[in-house]
Amino acid sequence: MTDDFLVEELQNKNQPKNLLIEDEYKLANDILNAVSENSSAFDLSQKEALGKRIAHTIRLAKRRSLIIVRISTAAIFFLLIGLTTFLTMNKESEISVFARNTQSLPLTGNTRLILSGEEEIQINSAESKIAYTGNGKEIQIDSSHVKQVVVDDKMVYNTVIVPYGKRTQITLSDNSSVWLNSGSKLIYPARFATEKREVYLEGEAIFEVSHNKQRPFHVLTRDMEVKVLGTVFDISAYTDDATSSTILESGSVEMKYKTNSLLSQSKITMAPGMLAVYDPVEKTVIQTQVNTKLYTSWREGYFVFERQSLGEILKKISRYYNVSIQLNDLSLADETFTGPLDLRNSASQVLEIIAELINAKVESVDNQIIITRI
């Protein structure tokens, strides 16, 4: 009744358009009549009916308000849930931030061990071994020893860079072993001081993880995260490869990877003998049963191939020996090869074996190995 325009419309017997629903209009008209006429014009039954209508309208208004409040509360709740999930899933781990901020170094020359992101140690051997004590303060590099300052309440990250043509084996402070292949980089704490053991990999490595149920082991790469308790597996995550892959030799691992959904990640649990290939463009994973030796034999010093294309084989040989290989006839890249290759031989000797099988010849010209179809 505080709306002068409405009162004027009611007094002129004109029902306003789109202002009130029909029941509310009638109620307003009755109330106006009640306050405008002598109260004796209403008998008892009319007064009771009018009172019931007023009470009913008040209840409806309260109910509508309650529904609006509930809907608003639910919307805010789900918004907060979604925001929390988004922030949690997109929160970058400390070691990933360290890896992102680390200067990119060329994968040539000697193997390099970088302590705390500062002091660099050159390792001359082609097949090196690095081993940490449990407190992370002492490091054995082949036959020499190095000491490192490790503060209990601070994470100290070390980096091993293995150039093309070399490999290294690392024994971490938790007694886990890592075989780092040519052209790879591993970032890890000198001592695992938190509940979760995390390392960051670029390239390829085989992990033999020391079992610890209370402190799971996580391998992070550019595209995925692999969680294990104690197992043996291989991860290949070279930056110049179109896909990343995980091969499980024994035990069990959980692999998380990015999807097309903004608010979610997907994860799979792998069984022994499985290969999981992640496509970062399609953001999908395909799992297949494989012979794991095809992917992990390089640790023992030989490659095993099974109907693999020459193009992929030469890519592996080029990385392993740090040699440039050229095919004069590009159709040779589609030739397939099955069998083992002893990596104790030179690159030329290994390629001569392949050339005999595909009817080709091998020549060395200006520090480059050229394969030509006969």
CATH number at residue 355: 3.55.50.30
Claim to verify: residue 263 and residue 332 sit in the same structural domain: no
47-61, 131-145, 152-166, 246-260 — which is least confidently predicted?
Answer: 47-61
Here the tokens at position 283 are: 């953001």
Claim to verify: residue 113 and residue 239 sit in the same structural domain: yes
Instruction: State which of 29, 55, 88 marks the end of a domain.
Output: 88
Instruction: State which of 63, 88, 113 marks the end of a domain.
Output: 88
pLDDT tens-digit readout, 182-230: 999 999 999 997 778 999 999 999 999 998 888 999 999 999 999 998 8
Claim to verify: residue 149 and residue 282 sit in the same structural domain: yes
- Opening angle at CA 280, ends 97 and 203, nearest 5: 60
> What phi, psi does 254 have (nearest 5°)?
-115, 125
Claim to verify: residue 288 and residue 323 sit in the same structural domain: no
The amino acid at residue 346 is: S
Structural contact between residues 227 and 254, judged by C-beta atoms closer than 8 angstroms: yes
> For position 17, what pLDDT does the model report?
53
152 or 269: which leads in pLDDT: 269
- Which has the closest alpha carbon to 228: 245, 247, 240, 210? 210
Report the number of distinct structural domains present in the chain: 3
Claim to verify: residue 249 and residue 355 sit in the same structural domain: no
pTM, whole model, 2 decimals? 0.74
The residues with which 288 forms a beta bridge, in sequence order, are 275
Claim to verify: residue 181 and residue 309 sit in the same structural domain: no
Claim to verify: residue 128 and residue 243 sit in the same structural domain: yes
Claim to verify: residue 228 and residue 115 sit in the same structural domain: yes
Instruction: State which of 68, 88, 108 marks the end of a domain.
Output: 88
> For position 82, what pLDDT does the model report?
44
- Opening angle at CA 304, ends 302 and 307, nearest 5: 155
Q: Is 80 exceeded by the pLDDT of residue 333?
A: yes
> What phi, psi does 3 have (nearest 5°)?
-90, 100
Here the tokens at position 76 are: 């805010």
Mean residue pLDDT of the chain comes to 83
Structural contact between residues 236 and 245, judged by C-beta atoms closer than 8 angstroms: yes
Claim to verify: residue 289 and residue 306 sit in the same structural domain: no
Q: Which residue range is the domain that position 347 belongs to?
A: 301-373
CATH number at residue 267: 2.60.120.1440
Element (H or E) spanning 112, and its range? Answer: strand 111-115
> For position 374, what pLDDT does the model report?
84
E-strand spans in 134-292?
138-141, 144-147, 157-162, 167-171, 177-180, 184-189, 197-208, 217-220, 224-228, 232-237, 244-250, 253-258, 265-270, 274-279, 284-289
Claim to verify: residue 76 and residue 204 sit in the same structural domain: no
Q: Is 60 exceeded by the pLDDT of residue 238?
A: yes
Here the tokens at position 81 are: 């849930």
Claim to verify: residue 176 and residue 142 sit in the same structural domain: yes
Claim to verify: residue 130 and residue 237 sit in the same structural domain: yes
